[in-house]
Amino acid sequence: MLRVKARGPIARKIIEKYHNQFQDKVVSLDAVKQGKATAEDMLKDVKLPTEFEGYDPLHAIYIYAQNMLSSFVEVLANYREVEKFNQKMDHAEDEYQPSYPPQSPITNSYFFFWQICDLCSQSAKKESMATIAVDLLTHIGGFDASTLQLFEAMAQSRNGIYLHQGFDEVNQRVLLKELITAKEYSVHVASGYQGEEGEVWLCRLLSSPFKNLPLDYAVAMTTPYIHRMIAMPPIQTWLYFNEYMQRTLAKTSISNPIEAYEHVMKYGLDTFYWLEYVFQAYLNVSDQGIFIFGLPDQPENLPHFHEAKAKACKLI
């Protein structure tokens, strides 16, 4: 009898089906096994492929991993077990038209992480396309361990709300402090946006997942959404968002405030919660950042308030 180790029932069924019927469907994944350099070696030696010349090393290895994970998810999409994921992804793509303002405030990078890493099953296991991919590749074996670590780091990543605390001129990094967790980060912003002290950002940070390479910075993998609170000093803006989050955490059934915050930032109060919020909150755009206005639970103040959609996505 096949012994299957997976974190949830969807991955378990796909692993069983892989063995029983569809082994030919993963032939295209040989490239993952046969990479010329592991992701860990790329970061350690700062030897990046030609297409990543000029990139920050941590940013480069996550782009490398993102491209590989995207290819694998295309294979997973053929399995009947992920049909509900496909339906929700198709609906979101039709509804939000991810690209970049002015066409849509939902950027391609933001949408990628939402559909692959945050969109999850409704069971307690919270399986996503990314976790299913990691479970299947781990079971098959023979794949580069450092790449799987990057996949797992992306799978566990989430949005965060951060206070801009200044810019490190020496290292060319933004200094951010997170709401609720109070963690502080030195951040390479992939879009190039430096911002101003006192701004409040919504973005996704990723750090090095390699214990033997504990880098002292993170990378913002998505273009930051910057909250523009008109005629409001920075400390008042920060308190404004803290009050919003306290109200929102109370709507979860999670007693630990940090765990509740992490849950809300990854999953929202509804599958489309954060997508709908960004869409309704969009204000304007610069070359390197996207500006939004208002709080999710006060949508009547959002620039593009749509009551029916706000209710459907549990903004109100």
- Cα separation values, 3 from 16, 22, 124, 139, Å: 9, 18, 22, 10
Confidence of residue 272 (pLDDT cuts 50, 70, 90): very high
pLDDT at 137 over 60: yes
Looking at per-residue pLDDT, the higher value among 124 and 40 belongs to 124
Q: Give the pLDDT band of residue 75 (cuts 50, 70, 90).
A: confident
Specify the pLDDT at position 54.
Answer: 81
pTM more than 0.85: yes
Return the structure tokens found at 108: 């391609």
> Which pLDDT band holds residue 40 (cuts at 50, 70, 90)?
low
Q: Which of 177-186, 217-226, 291-300 has the lowest mean pLDDT?
A: 291-300
Angle formed by the axes of helices 57-76 and 129-140, nearest 10°? 90
In the three-class reduction of DSSP (H, G, I as helix; E, B as strand; rest coil), residue 160 is classed as: strand
pLDDT of residue 43: 55
Q: Name the least confident of 47-51, 125-129, 184-188.
A: 47-51
- Mean confidence (pLDDT) of the chain: 88
Least confident residue range of 14-23, 110-119, 148-157, 179-188: 14-23
Close Cβ partners of 160 (under 8 Å, ≥ 6 residues apart): 178, 179, 202, 203, 204, 205, 265
- pLDDT per position as a tens digit, 92-125: 999 999 999 999 999 999 999 999 999 999 877 8
Q: Write down the pLDDT at residue 19.
A: 76
Per-residue CA distances from 94 to 88, 91, 122, 235 (Å): 10, 5, 22, 38
pLDDT of residue 236: 78
What number is the average pLDDT over the span 236-248? 89
Q: What is the band of 32 on the pLDDT scale with cuts at 50, 70, 90?
A: very low
Mean pLDDT across 261-277: 98
Cα-based torsion angle of the residue sequence 139, 144, 147, 149 in order, rounded to the nearest 10 degrees: 60
Q: Evaluate if residue 232 carries a pLDDT over 50.
A: yes
The larger pLDDT score, comparing residue 57 to residue 1, is at: 57
Nearest residue to 63 via CA among 16, 108, 3, 8: 108
Amino acid at 143: F
User: Any residues with CB less than 8 A from the CB of 172 and at least 6 apart, and which?
Assistant: 188
Of the listed ranges 65-69, 102-106, 128-132, 181-185, the least confidently predicted one is 65-69
